[in-house]
């Protein structure tokens, strides 16, 4: 099987790496890829959000499967164009990708499917935003309705900051979704869907804030780990029964079947499990940690989803070890990330047993790998337990040389110390339909 992976980031590097380990995958290409991906597979320069360009490349390569990684190409209709060319594609249609592209749409779907989520209101102007903030009270949660690369959410106790974020979204021509604040630990669960059937991957937890102790602005994600030893034993079954399958069924009933991966961002609150958000693709950096543990061949799994054959798949197999991914970001991220800085120590980091480095924002200039984005690398480690995996990941980070770079030092630290408390009511079965 020949596979084309579309996208430039760390998620795509993780997918490519896993596909290369699949004995049924004979060839992998990436477009546009990055400097790390280019070291292991052929890369093709193109605009990943151009449906015609991606389709032309897939046809020219004779691809048996196209895997669309980022959200922007999905929202642009890349999957639709590839499907119309008769090539199986793992990634939802433009209409189905609205589950991520519009938070208001996702709330409507959840309400129709009786999926438990935070109560919310959609605001289109400052007066509506102020009224919604007063309805829910602090802490305030304000979300840009559209795509924002994981950085369109503000959670604050400062009403002025919340209003300022809403005003910036309005100025850009958008709307906002204002929600009640959800307490409790957060969980990420990827669920593969073929439009009818769903197959869950292993849960993970990521870290959105730029600084230790969950301080500072939101980012696309500064690290992740999997599995979650502290999570309720029935969590995955609960998410499938109350979130993933009802959502997939609702999308099918609307005539827009969801084929791809449904990212379920969850909060285990004192009033029960709640959906924070949906993504229509693999999340970054959780993908880097989750796929490091997946032993079931990835290519066959994604092809089965693309061909509506997930019900024929055997139970997934997992490495029993723990994976930790730590992101190394460039100077000034997330506001105005600096690029063009040389990256040193990559070989030394990967020489550590159990460690590999996945590139996200990198490029090759004059035979030198340099930073080309905000989140530059993810150092991923597998350990016998969480403490060992953390130690190995941070040993790898210590080898990386990137001027002005930043990383969190507390990825998975609370979990390794058994300091995560799951509210007693998180296993409840009460539902809230989301939109007021």
User: For the chain, where do the domains classified as CATH 3.40.50.20 start and end?
Assistant: 2-91
CATH (residue range 2-91):
3.40.50.20
* Residues in contact with 2: Cβ distance below 8 Å, sequence separation at least 6, in sequence order: 25, 26, 27, 28, 29, 61, 62, 63, 64, 65
User: For the chain, where do the domains classified as CATH 3.30.470.20 start and end?
Assistant: 186-416
User: In angstroms, rounded to a whole number, what is the distance separating the alpha carbons of residues 379 and 411?
Assistant: 12
121-179: CATH topology: Dna Ligase; domain 1 (3.30.1490)
Which is nearest to 36 in space by CA: 433, 257, 358, 336? 358
Global pTM reads 0.92
pLDDT (tens place) for every residue of the chain, 436 residues total: 999 999 999 999 999 999 999 999 999 999 999 999 999 999 999 999 999 999 999 999 999 999 999 999 999 999 999 999 999 999 999 999 999 988 889 999 999 999 999 998 888 999 989 998 999 999 999 988 877 655 578 888 999 999 999 998 888 888 888 999 888 999 999 999 999 999 999 999 999 999 999 999 889 999 999 999 999 999 999 999 999 999 999 999 999 999 999 999 999 998 899 999 999 999 999 999 999 999 999 999 999 999 999 999 999 999 999 999 999 999 999 999 999 999 999 999 999 999 999 999 999 999 999 999 999 999 999 999 999 999 999 999 999 999 999 999 999 999 999 999 898 766 554 445 555 5
Among the CATH numbers 3.30.420.40, 3.30.470.20, 3.40.50.2300, 1.10.540.10, which is that of 186-416? 3.30.470.20
pLDDT for res 154: 86
pLDDT for res 431: 47
pLDDT for res 148: 63
Instruction: Assign 3-class secondary structure to the chain.
Output: CEEEEEECCHHHHHHHHHHHCCCCCCEEEEEECCCCHHHCCCECCCCCCCHHHHHHHHHHHCCCEEEECCHHHHHCCHHHHHHHCCCCEECCCCCCCHHHHCHHHHHHHHHHHCCCECCEEEECCHHHHHHHHHHHCCCEEEEECCCCCCCCEEEECCHHHHHHHHHHHHHCCCCEEEECCCCCCEEEEEEEEECCCEEECCCEEECCEEEHHHEEEECCCCEEEECCCCCCCCHHHHHHHHHHHHHHHHHHHCCCCCEEEEEEEEEEECCEEEEEEEECCCCCCHHHHHHHHECCCHHHHHHHHHCCCHHHCCCCCECCCEEEEEEEECCCCCCCCCCCCECECHHHHHCCCCEEEEECCEEEECCEEEECCCEEEEEEEEECCHHHHHHHHHHHHHHCECCCCECCCCCCHHHHCCCCCCCHHHHCCCCCCCEC
User: In angstroms, rounded to a whole number, what is the distance separating the alpha carbons of residues 145 and 165?
Assistant: 12
The residue to which tokens 């796929």 are assigned:
291
């Amino acid at each position: 099987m020949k596979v084309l992976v579309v996208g430039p980031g760390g998620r795509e590097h993780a997918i490519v790496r896993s596909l290369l380990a699949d004995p049924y995958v004979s060839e992998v290409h990436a477009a546009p890829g990055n400097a790390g991906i280019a070291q292991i597979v052929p890369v093709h320069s193109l605009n990943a959000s151009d449906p015609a360009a991606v389709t032309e490349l897939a046809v020219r390569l004779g691809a048996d499967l196209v895997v669309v990684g980022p959200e922007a190409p999905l929202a642009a209709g890349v999957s639709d164009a590839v499907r119309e060319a008769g090539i199986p594609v793992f990634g939802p249609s433009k209409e189905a990708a609205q589950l991520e592209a519009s938070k208001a749409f996702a709330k409507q779907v959840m309400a129709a499917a009786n999926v438990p989520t935070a109560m919310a209101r959609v605001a289109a102007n400052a007066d509506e935003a102020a009224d919604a903030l007063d309805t829910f009270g602090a802490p305030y949660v304000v979300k840009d309705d559209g795509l924002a690369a994981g950085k369109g959410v503000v959670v604050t106790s400062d009403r002025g900051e919340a209003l300022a974020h809403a005003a910036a979204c309005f100025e850009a021509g958008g709307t906002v979704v204002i929600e009640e604040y959800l307490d409790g630990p957060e969980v990420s669960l990827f669920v593969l869907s073929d439009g009818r059937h769903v197959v869950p991957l292993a849960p993970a937890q990521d870290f959105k804030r730029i600084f230790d102790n969950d301080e500072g602005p939101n980012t696309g994600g500064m690290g992740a780990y999997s599995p979650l030893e502290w999570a309720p034993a029935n969590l995955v079954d609960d998410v499938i029964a109350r979130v993933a399958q009802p959502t997939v069924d609702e999308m099918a009933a609307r005539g827009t079947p969801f084929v791809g991966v449904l990212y379920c961002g969850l909060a285990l609150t004192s009033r029960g499990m709640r959906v924070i958000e949906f993504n229509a693709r693999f999340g970054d950096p959780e993908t880097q940690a989750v796929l490091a543990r997946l032993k079931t061949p990835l290519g066959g799994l994604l092809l089965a989803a693309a061909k509506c054959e997930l019900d024929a798949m055997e139970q997934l197999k997992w490495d029993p070890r723990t994976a930790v991914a730590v992101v190394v970001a460039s100077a000034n991220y997330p506001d105005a990330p600096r690029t063009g800085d040389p990256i040193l120590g990559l070989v030394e980091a990967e020489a550590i047993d159990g460690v590999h480095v996945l590139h996200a924002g990198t490029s090759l200039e004059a035979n030198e790998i340099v930073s080309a984005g905000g989140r530059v690398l993810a150092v991923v480690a597998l350990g016998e337990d969480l403490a060992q995996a953390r130690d190995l990941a941070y040993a790898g980070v210590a080898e990386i040389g990137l001027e002005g770079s930043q990383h969190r030092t507390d990825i998975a630290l609370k979990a390794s110390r058994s300091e995560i408390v799951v509210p007693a009511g998180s296993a409840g079965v009460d539902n809230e339909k989301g939109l007021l």
